[in-house]
Amino acid sequence: MDTRSPGPAPHRDYTPDELNERMDACRVEPRVQEYLNQCIAFHTFPAPGLLIGAFMVDFALELLGAWPGEKLFAVCETPKCAPDALQVIAHCTYGNNRLRIVDVGRFAITVNRASDAATTEGVRVYVDTQKLAQFSTIYSWFTNGPEFNKKTMNNQLFDEIFSAGWRILSCERVRVNVEGKKKWASVTCPKCGEMVPDYSVDQDGRCISCGSKSYYQKIAEV
């Protein structure tokens, strides 16, 4: 007979139903719960940065007095997670040319309305590290601290994010440069023979895919 006491139960992350139960327990507003679930479905898993990003977008919309169906433009200062929240909630996407990523490594977004002027006013929302002090798990995850263990602390992190909501965020009013549509002409790359906009050509006349931004080697025609 094995008299050894059983070890601790293996850790498992919340199921989707459990995540919604935790949102309810942490008093996340139904509107934001819907945003969170839409973002998770789009992103395919509940990444912590995605969840924080959803609160950031919600905060920005509140500050602007805007709503998800309105035509908005956004800049994201990181390519990690937050862009998906902007795409899902504010409908600012790469494809509709209303999302720019300026990768400076800060977890921040700026949202503004459309404008025909050279500049327009918007709101910038960012994770405030001073406010993170009261949320130790988020702080250790956000700062990539050695004490954070993804294998055992994810659920605790989710709970803190749901409880924190806007409270780890700060904002500022900003003036944003408006980028108008570029005028361009089609040119044919002398190497690949494909047509590209003239602004996508290197100094030697080749398209940037055949030059400075080449990312593949052709194996065979399909």
pTM: 0.88
Residue 157 and residue 63 in one domain: yes
- Whichever domain contains 35, its CATH number is 3.30.1330.130
- The whole-number average pLDDT for the span 171-194 is 89
Going by C-beta distance under 8 Å and a sequence separation of 6 or more, which residues neighbour residue 167?
131, 134
Residue 156's H or E segment, with its range, is helix 150-164
Number of domains composing the chain: 2
Distance CA 157, CA 219 (A): 45
Asked if the structure places residue 138 within a domain, the reply is yes
Residue 61 and residue 161 in one domain: yes
Confidence at residue 179, expressed as pLDDT on a 0 to 100 scale: 78
Residue 20 and residue 126 in one domain: yes
- The whole-number average pLDDT for the span 17-34 is 97
The pLDDT tens digits of the residues spanning 49-93 come to 999 999 999 999 999 999 888 999 999 999 999 999 999 999 999
- The whole-number average pLDDT for the span 130-148 is 95
Confidence at residue 32, expressed as pLDDT on a 0 to 100 scale: 97
Asked if the structure places residue 84 within a domain, the reply is yes
Displacement of CA 213 from its chain's centroid (Å): 24
Confidence at residue 9, expressed as pLDDT on a 0 to 100 scale: 55
